[in-house]
Amino acid sequence: MNKIVHRLNGKFRKPLVALLVAGVTAGLFFLIGFAQINQNEKRCREIFVKIDSDYDNYFVDKNMVMKIITNDGKNPVIGKFKKEIPVTQIEKMLKKNPFVDKAEVFCDLNGNMNVTVSQKKPIARILTGSGTSYYLDEKGDLLPLSQKYTARVLVISGKQADLEVRKFLENKRKKMAVQHPLKPIADSSVFSGPVMELIQFIISDKFWNMQIAQINIHNFSNVDLIPVVGDQVIQLGEPIEIQKKFQYLMAFYRQAMTETGWNLYSSISLKFKNQIVCRK
């Protein structure tokens, strides 16, 4: 009798296992499908908004986010079924805001909508010849000024800066004309590498970030710096070998300025290799 049972076990074991696996799989699909249907039938009860303010910027607040989500109150979300909420569309609309870098929107198991927004980081403010000002963010993109918040950042001016802004805006208009309105514009930068490297160098150094108030870009070979302390213009020249030039300037500050004072010279030139030329 044991031998017969053993033969039966060997003969039917594989089909039984296959049937068991199929049954479990079907049951899981049923439970998952039922859970999804159940979730989609839940109504949105509350909206939680988290705004990343790591850079101490306050261009975006909860009221602004709620206006975008609800289309200025015309399309309320609370009370809607989860399946009726266009989460992907809301994310795209949030990303269209010029101060929003990233946006994530999802509905949790309790029916709540969760919104996380990261803000762009302005690193400079560009003054143009027309009188219009823009913020420059860390990726080289332009941001409009905000009536809600003013960022205290480095100022950039000059003929070349004005020209680069106009070229950048014109290129952006052309890209927008051929792209879908909800698709992001391809990354590009107002300034070339050396100018962005100069800006990043200044703002990343604690002393120079406090001491340099303005960059005046006449052209890419003729860049001036305006300090906070001292009446002189710092003639940087071409923005190359930046670290070395600022090392010379720091050495000059420590040695000469302590003896002569900060207002003796009208200009300090770093244009010439391995030397500083001052003019009274």
CATH 3.40.50 intervals, the chain: 164-279
Residue 160's nearest CA partner among 122, 197, 192 is 192
Tokens linked to 250: 């720091």
186 has a pLDDT exceeding 60: no
- pLDDT per residue as tens digits for the range 225-269: 999 998 889 999 999 999 999 999 999 988 887 777 788 889 999
- Cβ-count burial of 61 within 10 angstroms (0-12 exposed, 13-18 middle, 19+ buried)? middle
CATH 3.10.20.310 intervals, the chain: 47-119
- Separation CA 44–CA 90 (nearest Å): 15
pLDDT at 81: 85
Residues 6+ apart with CB under 8 A from 128: 134, 161, 162, 165, 166
30 has a pLDDT exceeding 50: no
Model pTM? 0.77
- Separation CA 143–CA 172 (nearest Å): 13
pLDDT at 273: 84
pLDDT at 29: 44
pLDDT at 33: 43
Architecture of domain 47-119: Roll (3.10)
- Cβ-count burial of 17 within 10 angstroms (0-12 exposed, 13-18 middle, 19+ buried)? exposed
Tokens linked to 146: 């905000």
4 compared with 95, residue with greater pLDDT:
95
164-279 placed in CATH 3.40.50: yes
Question: How many residues would you count in the chain?
Answer: 280
Share of the chain above pLDDT 70, in %: 82
Residues 6+ apart with CB under 8 A from 182: 89, 92, 93, 96
Beta bridge mates, 107: 113
Tokens linked to 205: 């150094």
pLDDT at 27: 47
